[in-house]
Chains A and B, each alone.
Chain A
Amino acid sequence: MLFWVLAALLTLIASLAVMLPFLRRRGDQRAGAEHDLAVYRDQLAELEQEVGRGLISKADAAEARAEIGRRILRLSEAGKPDGGAGGERSARTIAAAAVLAVPLVSWGLYAFLGSPGTPALPLQARLTIDPSQASIDELVARAEAHLADNPQDARGWEVLAPIYARLGRYGDAAVAYRKTIALTGPSAAREAALGEALVGEAGGIVTAEAEAAFERALEIDAANPRARFFIAMARAQEGNTAEARTIWEKMAAGLPQDSPWKEVAGQAIAGLTGSEGEAPGPSEADITAAEEMTPAARQEMIEGMVAGLDARLREDPADIEAWRRLLRSYVVLGRKDEAGEALERALAAFGADSEEAETLTEYAETLGVPQGE
């Protein structure tokens, strides 16, 4: 309501401004010639100054004076006052139209363009919306804003970390878990969750950093199922399927019936069996996929994808990202020899001294691909 009052007030002021010249009558009107005359007089005065300073010779000065004089003469011949007194009646009509046009144009256009009902939402207002109305992104942003101001709030980090992981923001989740550990000290659950976030960030690969986190977790609590599961997955990804199977079987047998990890371990074993000893690396996404597919079908799908990628790279070897994917796939499938062979092909394609070769070799080292030499 206040908005409409203020808008009306603004309109009124604008309309009054247009009427202003009609409200006060003033009749000072000067002919344009007077302005011109003032300029010429000033030019004459300036000329005298220059003569005084000796900047211009007497003869030149006389000529210049004569020229300005001629201009003044021409002026008095042509001099006519501008503007007239006529047309004041039609002027009133036009003025009335103009005064009316101000509210018509402004309100009409605003009705078309404006959104008067939309409330303003500055940062402060947004952060204080009722939490039950807020979306998960808003809640996360609010928590982030809170933690930016209070970075020592361990509880905040601990709450936020699993939400990040759920949203797929693994990097942020890892940071949050690290903060929690730094602020409140390590626990098996936190270290294992940190490891899982790192695995997520690496796209399903249990990196050395992640494995270290799981090992720290197992030092505190040797029975932590999450850490045990992923250590086994690390073994499987290294090709040591026997050890992986042992750990998973122990988990499947030893864990209580209601533990979610019991079932996950069972599925992992099924995956190992399905690929007949060749260890697929079940990342979290794979686990989900495995629930919907028979192991054989899944294995077939993956093998098909990898074979297709391999064939494509034989024809067009210039895509470094595709090579990375192929290397990783072979490692995940536990076919390290084939990974080594693919690496050699890639190095041949890019040239052994090229930048790409260097990148790929480094990458292969982190995956543990056996190298030619």
Chain B
Amino acid sequence: MSVELGHFALVLALALALVQTFVPFVGARIGSLSLMRVGEPAAITGLALLAAAFAALMLAYVQSDFSVANVWENSHSAKPLLFKITGTWGNHEGSMLLWVLILSFFGALVAAFGRNLPPTLKANVLAVQGLIASAFLLFILLTSNPFARLQPAPIEGRDLNPILQDVGLAVHPPLLYLGYVGFSISFSFAAAALIDGRVDAAWARWVRPWTLAAWAFLTGGIAMGSYWAYYELGWGGFWFWDPVENASFMPWLAGTALLHSAIVMEKRSALKIWTVLLAILTFSLSLLGTFLVRSGVLTSVHAFATDPTRGVFILAILVFFIGGALALFAFRAAALAPGGLFHPISREGALVLNNLLLTTAAATVLVGTLYPLVLEAVTGEKISVGAPFFNLTFVPLFLPLLAAVPFGPVLSWKRGDLVGAAQRLHFAFAAAVVSAFLAFFLIDRGSALAALGIGLGLWLIFGALTDLALKAGIGKVEPAAAFSRFRGLPLSVFGTALAHAGLGLTTLGVVCVTTLETERILTMQPGQTAKIGGYALRFEGLQPFTGPNYTEDRARFILTGADSVRLGELISSKRLYTARGMPTTEAGIRTMGLSQLYVSIGDATNDGGLVVHMWWKPLVTLIWIGALVMMGGGGISLFDRRLRVGAPARRKAGPAAAGEEAA
């Protein structure tokens, strides 16, 4: 019964989403406050209903109820409990339900905590959110219903794709969706502003926390996906420029640009039109990502099931929202008043440069991702655009951006002084150059490229620290005063510094791995030892092992350091998931400091040997640690008190008092 109740809750949520779309919108048009308010309870009740539907589906997974077609297709009674739960969204239908659940979660947050928003703006925002939710709920119910039933129920399920049977599935999709869908709020705010034909001064302040939260989640989601692919696929790479990865990377680039242009808009009322456009583009790219991944246009581990009607449906949603928003933009943008002026060399100017480079970078990724698809559709020719294209187009755009990042925060608003900024940064620059030289001369096989890259990464980190030091006045005032000033800095300053330093850490990790990594492929006999990265691995032999729903051959390696000290054991295995008869390779990874030793086994040879692929990856973990630091920076900024300003009701007892103080 719980399954059917879940189904009914899903249908009811659609009815409420429709109400949430039309009633507040009409209310805002005819000026009825009560109608505008309907959006709030509709959004919150909608969230409760969707949560119930999701819980019902999850329960069906946990109980292995194969009378639900979706559960039968993607689960197996022998699967461990964790993967039964995560399997709920490890398939097309369930993941779309999670998508809408998160969408309505954000909508409900606006409804519950947006008390200080002007009523018309809030009504319009909730209406747009309701419209997005209605479209996707219709999509789910009509083309990918997770509650479709099977009778009679098969005795055993088809099991979840083994690659997805991993804790990564518990973390990566929810984080990624929180990011993707979080941008829907910025989109709704942009659409609402365009519908009203005016952008309030506080608009940027209201949009920023949502953008920031979505950006932080997306950063974490992408990083988690990258790490998951790194250890699960057994190829040892952290980024493949795979279209599916690009699909999540494009909104990240656009979202990063949005984050920065919203700052300009908030502080200086400038770049209003541009910020609104970016908000639309960012969510459009999120929708495009959803389309690319969910329509089956791309074949990958994410394309769970391909069904042409789904692709057409999502394409229609895509065209409706992107086209509609852009049409609204074209129609209304002229009505938005332009804001303050600024000199090209200024913090605004730096942020514009950031925006230009980021959006161009996003555009190159878009071209590289869509071109093969379009070409195949038009001429039938299959090509693949991979790392060489992106190395030639994306990297040259991103390097100047990285080099310019430390300048931004130290430039002043409106009219900056480049020479002064450069002087303020001389210490960071000198430190980065010295480190680059040290790297060039001291590191084995260190190339000029590696040295430059390491210098660039450290430049970002030192630049971020310099910014903090300058703002605290270290060196200018007494240490005690500097310390108290340091503690008194707004949280968003720390957030900026952390995010920029995190970018530096990621850069450092990427550079070190791509230039200094060592790799060996060899056939090992039991008892044989191989040396890599100053360590030695002795192959102990293969042992069979039976897991809950798989069998595997485990290769054991004994790891010893340079002085033959035993450091531990490493296990890499070849697994066979019995239900789908699908083999996977489990990599053996050992983290030492920030570096990793990565071992992936191949096939056994006839003479009892084993093909072993091993990598020494220096500082590889920095790639993901950097992303976590960026995420932390975003999180800290979120707690900045200033993000909640523009909220007269919050600081005052009641509406009457608000009027007094404002006067």
CB of B301 to closest CB in A, whole Å: 27
Within 8 Å CB of B415, what residues of A? 60
B window 1-51: CB within 8 A of A: 1-5, 7-9, 11-12, 14-16, 18-19, 22-23, 26-28, 30-38, 40-42, 44-45, 49
- The answer to whether the Cβ of A94 comes within 8 Å of any Cβ in the partner chain is yes
Known A-B contacts A35-B647, A42-B642, A86-B31; the reply to A109 vs B23 at CB < 8 A is no
**15 A–B contact pairs at CB < 8 A?**
A7-B5, A13-B45, A14-B15, A29-B655, A30-B655, A36-B201, A38-B646, A39-B645, A60-B414, A67-B340, A91-B30, A94-B26, A95-B35, A113-B7, A118-B151
A248-280 interface code vs B (CB 8 A; 1 in, 0 out): 000000000000000000000000000000000
Cα-based distance from A343 to B60 in the complex (angstroms): 55
A123 touches B8 (CB 8 A): no
Whether B205 is near chain A, meaning CB under 8 Å from some CB there, is yes
The answer to whether A120 and B151 have CB atoms under 8 Å apart is no
Q: When the two chains form their complex, are residues A120 and B2 in contact, meaning their CB atoms are under 8 A apart? A: yes
**Alpha-carbon distance A278/B156, docked complex (angstroms):** 47
Task: Please give, as numbers and ranges, the residues of chain A lying within 8 Å of B28 by CB-CB distance.
Answer: 83
Does any Cβ of B come within 8 Å of A126's Cβ?
yes
Which one, B32, B201, B654, contacts A39 given CB within 8 A? B201
Pick the contact of A101 from B19, B60, B153 — CB < 8 Å? Answer: B19
Indicate if the CB atoms of A17 and B16 lie closer than 8 Å: yes
A29 lies within 8 A of B33 (CB): yes
Q: Which residue of B lies closest to A104 (CB)?
A: B15
Kindly list chain B residues whose C-beta atoms are within 8 Å of the C-beta of A37: 648, 662
- Shortest CB distance A111–B (Å): 10
B1 / chain A contacts, CB cutoff of 8 Å: 2-3, 6, 120
Is A102 at the interface (CB under 8 A from chain B)? yes
Provide the bound-state CA to CA distance between A106 and B8, in Å.
7
Q: Tell me the A84-105 residues at the B interface (CB within 8 Å).
A: 84-88, 90-91, 94-95, 98, 101-105
Q: Is the C-beta of B329 less than 8 angstroms from some C-beta in chain A?
A: no
- Report the Cα distance A22→B4, complex, angstroms: 32
> Nearest Cβ in chain B — how far from A341, in angstroms?
26
Which chain A residues (46-62) contact chain B, with CB distance < 8 Å? 46, 53-56, 60
How far does the Cβ of A237 sit from chain B's closest Cβ, in whole Å?
Answer: 27
Tell me if B200 counts as interface (CB < 8 A to partner A).
yes
Q: Which of A21, A55, A63, A83 contacts B31 (CB 8 A)?
A: A83
Q: Which 3 A-B pairs have the closest CB atoms?
A: A84-B31, A122-B63, A21-B37
B19, B28, B30: residue with the most chain A Cβ atoms closer than 10 Å: B19
A20 contacts B by Cβ under 8 Å:
yes
The answer, yes or no, to whether B573 is at the interface (CB within 8 Å) is no
How far is the CB of B337 from the nearest CB of chain A, in Å?
9
Complex contacts, A132 vs chain B, CB 8 Å: none
Asked if B332 lies at the interface with its beta carbon under 8 angstroms from chain A, I say no
| Chain B 441-481: CB-based contact to A (< 8 A → 1; otherwise 0) | 00000000000000000000000000000010100100000
Inside 8 A of B4's CB, which chain A residues have their CB?
3, 114-116, 118
Q: Which of B2, B64, B654 lies in contact with A123, CB distance below 8 A?
A: B64
A30-B655, A39-B201, A83-B119 are contacts. A53–B471 as well, Cβ < 8 Å? yes
The CA-CA distance from A100 to B19 in the complex, in Å, is 10
B658 adjacent to chain A (CB < 8 Å):
yes
Tell me if B269 counts as interface (CB < 8 A to partner A).
yes
Shortest distance between the CB of A32 and any CB in chain B (Å) = 4
Contacts of B38 in A (CB 8 A): 18, 20-21, 95, 98
In the bound complex, how far is the Cα of B1 from the Cα of A10, in angstroms? 14
Question: What 1/0 mask marks residues of chain A from 52 to 84 whose CB sits below 8 Å from any chain B CB?
Answer: 011110001001100100010001000000111
- Is B78 an interface residue, CB under 8 A from the partner? yes
A18–B31 touching, CB < 8 Å: no
Do B63 and A123 have beta carbons less than 8 Å apart? yes
For the complex formed, measure the closest distance between the CB of A286 and the CB atoms of chain B, giving whole angstroms: 29
Residues of A participating in the B interface, judged by any CB pair closer than 8 Å: 2-3, 6-7, 10-11, 13-14, 17-18, 20-22, 27-32, 34-40, 42-43, 46, 53-56, 60, 63-64, 67, 71, 75, 82-88, 90-91, 94-95, 98, 101-106, 109-110, 113-116, 118-124, 126, 137-138, 141-142, 145, 148
Closest to A137 in B: B155
**B531 sits at the interface (CB 8 A):** no
Q: Does B353 sit at the interface, judged by CB under 8 A?
A: no
Q: In the complex, which residues of chain B have a beta carbon less than 8 angstroms from the beta carbon of A55?
A: 471
> Could you say which residues of chain B place their CB within 8 Å of the CB of A20?
37-38, 41
**Among B7, B42, B267, contact of A18 (Cβ-Cβ < 8 Å):** B42
CB distance from B148 to the nearest CB of A (A): 8
Q: From the candidates A56, A87, A120, name the one contacting B67 in the complex (CB within 8 A).
A: A120
Over the window 411-437 of chain B, the binary record of Cβ atoms lying under 8 Å from chain A Cβ atoms (1 yes, 0 no) is: 011110000000000000000000000
Q: Which residue of A lies closest to B39 (CB)?
A: A21
Contact check, B121 vs A115: say whether CB atoms are below 8 A apart.
no
A residues in contact with B64, CB < 8 Å: 122-123
**Which B residues lie within 8 Å of A91 (CB)?**
27, 30, 32, 34-35
B19's contact among A35, A60, A64, A98, by CB below 8 Å, is which? A98
Query: Which chain B residues border A10 with CB–CB below 8 Å?
Result: 5, 8-9, 12, 49
Cβ A18 vs Cβ B119 within 8 A: no
The residue on B at minimum CB distance from A89 is: B32
Interchain CB contact under 8 A, B49 and A46: no
CB A13 to nearest CB in B, in angstroms, measures 7
Question: How many Å lie between the Cα of A138 and that of B64 in the bound state?
Answer: 15
Q: State the CA gap A225–B645 with chains docked (Å).
A: 92
Residue of A21, A36, A103 touching B34 (CB-CB under 8 A): A21
A124→B35 CA distance, assembly (Å): 49
Of B12, B22, B30, most buried by chain A (CB within 10 Å of CB) is: B12
Q: Which of A30, A82, A120, A137 contacts B658 (CB 8 A)?
A: A30
User: Chain B's nearest CB lies how many Å from the CB of A22?
Assistant: 5
Residues on the A chain within 8 Å of B340, using CB: 67
Q: Closest residue to A2 on the B side, CB-wise?
A: B1
Q: Is the CB of A95 within 8 A of B7?
A: no
B45-A14 in contact (CB<8A): yes
A21, A31, A113: which contacts B141 (Cβ < 8 A)? A113
Known: A38-B647, A109-B15, A126-B153. 4 other contacts (CB 8 A): A38-B648, A60-B414, A82-B118, A119-B67
CB distance from B268 to the nearest CB of A (A): 8
Chain A residues, CB < 8 A from B149? 115, 118
Closest A residue to B32 by beta carbon equals: A91
- A40, B201: Cβ atoms closer than 8 Å: yes
Contact code string B110-141 (vs A, CB < 8 Å = 1, else 0): 00000011111100000000000000000001
Contact (Cβ within 8 A) A106 B119: no
In the complex, what residues of B have CB within 8 A of residue A121's CB? 65-67, 153
* Interchain CA distance A80-B269 in the complex, whole Å: 19
Q: Is the CB of B63 within 8 A of A82?
A: no
Given A101-B15, A102-B15, A119-B67, A35–B40 Cβ distance below 8 Å? no
Cα of A121 to Cα of B60 in the assembled complex, Å = 9
Query: Which chain B residues border A141 with CB–CB below 8 Å?
Result: 155-156
Known: A39-B202, A122-B64, A123-B77. A14 touches B3 (CB 8 A): no
CA–CA, A71 and B272, complex, Å: 15
| Docked CA distance A46–B471 (Å) | 14
A294 to chain B, nearest CB (A): 41
Query: For residue A25, which residue of chain B has the nearest CB?
Result: B34
Q: Is the CB of B12 within 8 A of A90?
A: no
Across the interface, name the chain A residue whose C-beta is closest to B141.
A113
Closest to A142 in B: B155
A115 contact set on B, CB distance < 8 A: 4, 149, 151
A107 (CB) vs chain B CBs: closest residue:
B11
Known: A17-B45, A86-B31, A106-B15. A94 touches B647 (CB 8 A): no
Contact A18 B34 (CB under 8 A): no
- CB contacts (< 8 Å) of A122 on chain B: these are 60, 63-65
| Closest beta carbon of chain B to A178's beta carbon, Å | 15
When the two chains form their complex, are residues A28 and B116 in contact, meaning their CB atoms are under 8 A apart? no
B613 at the interface (CB under 8 A from A): no
Give CA–CA (A352, B464) in the complex, Å: 65
